[in-house]
Amino acid sequence: MTSLCPDRCGHAKDTAVFKTVEYEDFQKNSQYGEKQDVYHADMNPNANTDKQEERFIELIKSLQPGQKVRLHWDHIYVTNQGSKYPERPIRELEVL
What's the pLDDT at 35?
A: 76
What's the pLDDT at 16?
A: 92
The DSSP symbol for 54 reads: H
Global pTM reads: 0.76
Contact 56, 90 (CB under 8 A): yes
Of 23, 16, 13, give the one whose Cα is nearest residue 65. 16
pLDDT in tens, the chain (96 residues): 445 555 555 566 788 999 989 888 887 766 666 778 888 898 988 887 788 999 999 999 999 999 999 999 888 888 888 888 888 899 999 999
Residue 32 within any structural domain of the chain: yes
Residue 6 within any structural domain of the chain: no
Range 58-87 burial, b when 16+ CB lie within 10 A, else e = ebbeeeeeeeeeebebebeeeeeeeeeeeb
Residue 3 within any structural domain of the chain: no
Number of C-beta neighbours around residue 47 at 10 A: 17
In the chain, how many domains are there?
1
User: 90: domain range?
Assistant: 15-95
Contact 44, 16 (CB under 8 A): no
Contact 93, 69 (CB under 8 A): yes
